[in-house]
Amino acid sequence: MSVKSQFEEAKKEYEQWGIDVESIFGKLKNVPISVHCWQGDDIGGFEINKEALSGGIDVTGNYPGKATTPKELRQDLEKALSLIPGKHRVNLHAIYAETDGEVVERDRLEPKHFEKWVAWAKGLGLGLDFNPTLFSHQKAADGLTLSHPDPEIRKFWINHCIASRKIGEYFGKELGTPCLTNIWIPDGFKDTPSDRLTPRKRLKESLDEIFAVEIDERLNIDAVESKLFGIGSESFVVGSHEFYLSYALKNNKLCLLDTGHYHPTEMVSNKISAMLLFNDRLALHVSRPVRWDSDHVVTFDDELKEIALEIVRNDALGQVMIGLDFFDASINRVAAWTIGTRNMIKALLYGMLLPNGHLKALQEQGDFTKRLALIEEFKTYPFGAIWNYYCEAQNVPVKEHWLDEVVQYEETVLAKRSEGAMLDALERA
């Protein structure tokens, strides 16, 4: 039976519940996912004076074919995006600036250092998002940045964040879609602090100074991101969830929730509806923590489906900006992007194909028996046939056939990179 025939049969089952599958397709294709560039090169970036990865961030594995130039990274992103249904965005960090061989400190970065990224995004019709990079730098070596007791170090990072917001504004102006510029810092202490308040006062003052610089909010959207703990900050993180939630509400900024930045038993899906009551918009970095903030590739698991459901059934697709944040160097990096992004879209589709209005009514009526029964029965409805046809209609490979293209890409592109890197190493030796 063809993909379309299976779809037509499956559609009938959903239509019995008043679910308009074709209308859902029209809505889903307009939901952009912000795909993070740093999966493609293991968060290395392209700084001339590149520092070792730090800030409690670790990438494991040495799968061949890693992007080593901006051109290679964009090529890999294009390949991944060609296998993912819909039109999406790309999320950059400041370390992906292109300075043409010149050493440019992060507090001196300008829009011109991202002109090639903008030209590339224009050609593909993509939006760009941005993040200042407050790790992997000598001025972050002791684990403190915007909350540092040294005012000169604080000022360096304040200026870097201001420069980043201006770059985000440039992206929004050039691409016709606002850029989300998100601030995350690694600041914290390995052991129990003797003073929690003073570092948080300094962080608040730094943020106030950063946001005092006027940026066109129609072009750049500011967000702040919390964390529970990190490597080297196991006992205390300055920018906690409570700190940033309060700061965002008081200062009209977006609170960004990273699904790996909470206690393992704490579900981000449960926070979305509570926060939407008090915030016009939210932002997400969807990851998959395994025992800790390990940033595994997003899979089609229960929490991902619940996150998507909370967005869909609360009509919040226009309020929640969805981005991804994972990195795995033990598998093919193009495949990692493809798997994770397709799963995020798949979860949204799954949520849209539930009789959410009916399920809400059952809860209000106190009919918890029918509610539970229907939720469970819909888990085995022919969702796969609907997803396959959506992919076909969006001109991307159906089922696992996208993997054939990744294998071919590895053989024709990535393998040659690895061979070239090996020859270079031998020559240097």
Instruction: List residues with catalytic annotation.
Output: 184, 225, 227, 258, 261, 285, 293, 295, 325
User: CA angle, corner 175, sides to 171 and 178, nearest 5?
Assistant: 60
- Taking each helix axis from N to C end, the angle separating 21-28 and 383-393, rounded to the nearest 10 degrees, works out to 50
In single-letter form, the type of residue at position 315 comes to D
In single-letter form, the type of residue at position 202 comes to R
Q: What are the tokens at 332? A: 């093919």
Q: Distance between CA 319 and CA 281 in Å, rounded?
A: 5
Q: What are the tokens at 1? A: 């039976």
Tell me the backbone φ, ψ of residue 104, rounded to 5 degrees.
Answer: -125, 115
308-333: b (≥16 Cβ within 10 Å) or e: bbbbbbbeebebbbbbbbbbbbeebb
| Cross-strand pairs, 288 | 296
Q: Distance between CA 398 and CA 392 in Å, rounded?
A: 6
Residue 292 contacts residue 264 (beta carbons within 8 Å) = yes
